Amino acid sequence: MTIHAQLDRNLFEIAIVQKRLRWDWSVRDRRGKVVMAGREKSRAAARYHSGRALFLLLLTTCPRLKPA
């Protein structure tokens, strides 16, 4: 599998939305399906947790390169 095929397969989007006094965040796949979600008290916390969730998701879905 080429690197472009891997990148196309692992396309995710972060959405942060304010709902009353809380900030809802979600990580969605390319079809719009919510893969991870959460709710925080501040926008900064929502941004941090959504970024962390995206990093962990990419870490687990990307195949590892075998050393030569």
Q: List strands edge to edge, sheet with 34-40.
A: 12-19, 22-29, 34-40
pLDDT of residue 30: 87
pLDDT (tens, 9 = 90+) of the chain, 68 residues, equals: 555 555 566 789 999 999 999 999 999 998 899 999 999 999 999 999 999 999 999 888 877 666 66
Give the pair of three-digit tokens for residue 34. Answer: 């919510």
CA atoms of 65 and 36, how far apart (whole Å): 26
